[in-house]
Chain A
Amino acid sequence: MENTNIIELKHVTRSFEDGFNAVTDFNLEVKRGEFVTFLGPSGCGKTTTLRMIAGFDLPTSGEILLNGRSITDLPPYRRPINTVFQRYALFPHMNIYDNIAYGLKQKKTPKDLIEKKVKKVLSLVDLEGFERRNVSTLSGGQQQRIAIARALVNEPEILLLDEPLGALDLKMRQEMQYELKDMHDKLGITFIYVTHDQEEALTMSDKIVVMNEGRVQQIGTPEDIYNEPINAFVADFIGESNIFNGIMTGKCKVRFGGGEFDCVDDVAEGTHITAVVRPEDIEITAPEKGIVQGTVTNVIFKGIHYEITVTAGKNEYEIQSTKNAAVGNRVGLFVEPDGIHIMIAEDHTNVFYADINKDFRLEYNGHKIETSVTKIITGSRRLEDGSLVDAQGDVIDLNRTRIRVEIQPEDIEMTDEQDTGLVQGNISNLIYQGDHYSYVIQTDLEQDFVVYDEDLWNMGDRVSLIMPLDKMKFIYNRKK
C-alpha cells in the first residue's frame, strides 16, 4: 500500500536544559497536499514544533519522517522544506531578485532558468517588475509576498509558515488569508501553518492541531474542532463558549448552570461532566418557556449580531442573537439538546471565586476566609493609603478582583450544623464509588460542590460544607 503521509512526527519531545518541556510527545501525520494549522496560545510549543520540522531545532527524543524516511537529524539545508518567517527575514543587503534567487543559486541552477523562475513566482504573488527594488522600499504586505515567493521558488515539498500574517493589519490579513488558501489549492504543496488566531485557522485549514502547554489537545477538521471540542481548553480557545461544570442526572439529562437540560450524549447518571454551549446555540425565550431564568445584564451590538450577557443566579451566559434584548429584562434561556456538548470531567476539583473585603480578607457567601491577600498575590503589598499594589506596582482594584479557590472533593467535610460551614446546600445527587460516596451539593448560590464522604447521607439533606483552610488552594490571575 502506498504511503501518502508526506510527513510524520512520532513521539517528538523537545525539552530544555532547565527541565522545561516545550513540546511533549507530539504525534502527527500529514497527508500530501494538506493545509495543516498548529493553533494555540503563545508559548504552547507550536513554533518549536515548526522549527523542528524545518531543522532549526532538534527533538530531544522522537522521530520526524519525511516520505517515510527519518530526517530527524538533517540540517535545514538538506531538507526539501522551506519556511516563511514571522518577520519575513528578507536579506536587507540584496534586492528582490537576489532574495528570491538565493535558494536557486545555492543549488547552482543555470542563470536563465533562475530568471524564468523568479519572473514566474513574482507573477504568482502579484509583484511583477519588482526585481530591482530594495527590500526597505516595500510595504509589510509586499515583503510578506516576497518572503512567500522566496520560499515557493524552490518548489519545496512542504511550506512552513510561522505566523506569517501576524504583522499585517486586519484588512491586509484577511486578503492574504484568501490568497494563501488560493495558492495552496493551485500549487498542491503541503502547507504547515502556525497561528494563535483561531479565525485564521478555521478559515484556511484542512486540519487543525490545537496545542496547549506543549501537548496536542485535539487534531481534526475545523468543523470537528468547533463542533466537538474534546476538552474545555479547546472549547474555550476555539470561538466563544459557555463552559459549565455539571452532572448527569438521568438518561440524556444533564444539570449545569442552574438548570436541567436534555442532551444527546448518553453518559451514565452521576458522572461529573463539563458542558460546553456555544453562544449562538442559546435561545432567549419568555421566562416561563426557558429552562433557566435570568436577567439581561449587558448587551453589545456587534454588527451582525448582539452579544447578550444573561446572569442566572451565580452563572453567566454569553449569548449571540440577531434579536435585541433590553438590559434588566427577565428572560428564559433554552438550548436544543444537540447544542450541548458533554465532556466527561477527569478532574472533580471544586472551584469557586472569593471576593476581597475592605480588611483585605477573602470573603465567600458572607463568611470570612482567614488568610491574607498579600500572601496569595505574590509580591503584593499594602500601601500607607490603604490601597493594595502588586509586584509591578499596579494598584489592584479590590471591587473587581476575585480570587479563584480550588478544593478537592475529599477535603470538604459535611455537617448538619448549618452555621459552622462556609456554604450551605442540599444534596442533589449521590453515587457509591467503591469505598466512598460521591455527593453533589447544590448550594444556595447555584453552585455545585462535589464532596466525597464515607458516610451515607440522604438525597435532599441540608448540609453545611466545612473547608479546612490548609486544603484550599488560592489562585490569583492578573487581569489585563
Chain B
Amino acid sequence: MKFSRKTLGIPYSVFLILFVVLPLVVLFFYAFTNGQGQFTFANLTGFFTDPNAIGTLIYSFAIAAVTTIVCLLLAYPTAYLLAMSSLKSKSVIVMIFVMPMWINFSLRITAMKEILTFLEGNLSMYPFLNSVIGMTYDFLPFMILPIYTTISRLDGALREAAMDLGADERSTFLTVTLPLSVPGIISGVSMVFLPAMTNYVVLDMMNNSTYIMGSLIGSYFAAYNWHAGSMIALILLGLICLFTLLSGSGEEDNQRGGALL
C-alpha cells in the first residue's frame, strides 16, 4: 500500500485538532460564557474593571520588562565580546553560558535562593528584586544566544568597510554593528519577555506573594471559576500574538538560537 501525503498527514492533523484547535475552542467558549452557558462579555469587562486584575497585569508587565532590560544589558556586551574575540575556545565559553540550562530549573532557583538568603537574611524583604534576579538568572542564556549568533554571523567586511570610509571604532559600532544586530535583540527580547510575564514559579520560590498573570489564572481555575480564568488566558494569548507580530523579523534568529540549546 502506498501512503499519500494526505494519509501521512492524518496523525499530525489529529494531534493538531486534539491539542491545539479543540483547547482553543474550549478556551473561547468558557471565556465568553457564564456559569449557565449563556453568551456574555461579563468576563472581559470584569477583568478590566477589577483593579486587582489590572494591578496584576501591570506588575507582571513591570517584572517582565525589568528582567528583559537587565538581561539585555548583561547579554549584549557578553555576546558582543564573545562574537568579536579571536579566542579559539569561543564555543566553550558559549557552552558555559548555556550549561546551567542542563540543570533542573527548580534546582537552579533553589540554589540561587540559598545564595540570596545568605546575602539578604530574609528573602521576603526584597520580593521584586529577588524575582528579577531569579528570572534574569533563568532567562539570560535565551538573550545571549540569539544576539551572539546574529553578531557572529555579521560579515566582518561590513565593519571594515565602515572603518575604511572613515568611521572610528565607536561610530562603526553605532552605525553598523548595533543596527545590524537588532534582529538578534528582538528575538532575545521575545524569548525573555513573554515567558517572564507568566512565569510564576520563580516568584513562588522567591517568596514573592504578589500575583502575576500566570498565578492569577491558576488561582481562578483552582476556585473553579473557569470562565474568568479562560478570559485572562485569552487576553494573554492576544498580548503574545501582538508581540510576536511586532517581532516577526526576529523569528529566524529565534529558531537558530533555540537550536543551540
* Real binding pair: yes
Asked whether B168 lies within 8 Å of A75 as measured between CB atoms, the reply is yes
Asked whether B158 lies within 8 Å of A154 as measured between CB atoms, the reply is no
| Interface presence of A85 (CB below 8 A) | yes
> Which single residue of chain A is at the shortest CB-CB distance from B158?
A89
Residue-wise interface mask of A (102-136) relative to B, using a CB-CB cutoff of 8 A (1 in contact, 0 not): 11001100000000000000000000000000000
Asked whether B157 lies within 8 Å of A85 as measured between CB atoms, the reply is yes
Q: Pick from A56, A91, A103, A150: contact of B176, CB below 8 A.
A: A91
The prevalent SS among residues of A at the interface is loop
Residue-wise interface mask of A (89-107) relative to B, using a CB-CB cutoff of 8 A (1 in contact, 0 not): 1111100000000110011
Asked whether A76 lies within 8 Å of B180 as measured between CB atoms, the reply is no
> Which single residue of chain B is at the shortest CB-CB distance from A107?
B166
Specify which of B158, B166, B180 lies most central, judged by the most chain A CB atoms within 10 Å of its CB.
Answer: B166
Asked whether B160 lies within 8 Å of A89 as measured between CB atoms, the reply is yes
Contacts of A76 in B (CB 8 A): 160, 163-164
Complex Cα gap A86–B179 (Å): 23
> Which single residue of chain A is at the shortest CB-CB distance from B167?
A106
Asked whether A106 lies within 8 Å of B158 as measured between CB atoms, the reply is no
| Interface presence of B40 (CB below 8 A) | no
A339-394 interface (Cβ within 8 A of B): none
Complex Cα gap A90–B161 (Å): 8
| Interface presence of A423 (CB below 8 A) | no
Report the interface size class on chain A: 20 to 34
| Interface presence of B155 (CB below 8 A) | yes
Contacts of A90 in B (CB 8 A): 161
Complex Cα gap A372–B165 (Å): 57
Q: Pick from A54, A92, A106: contact of B180, CB below 8 A.
A: A92
Q: Pick from A77, A82, A86, A92: contact of B167, CB below 8 A.
A: A77
| Interface presence of B162 (CB below 8 A) | yes
Asked whether B180 lies within 8 Å of A102 as measured between CB atoms, the reply is no
Shortest CB distance A12–B (Å):
19
Q: Pick from B155, B157, B158, B168: contact of A77, CB below 8 A.
A: B168
Asked whether B164 lies within 8 Å of A77 as measured between CB atoms, the reply is yes
> Which single residue of chain B is at the shortest CB-CB distance from A54?
B164
A interface residue numbers (CB < 8 A to B)? 54-56, 75-77, 81-83, 85-87, 89-93, 102-103, 106-107, 150-151, 154
- What are 9 A-B contacts defined by CB distance under 8 Å? A54-B160, A56-B163, A76-B160, A86-B157, A87-B155, A91-B158, A91-B176, A92-B158, A150-B161
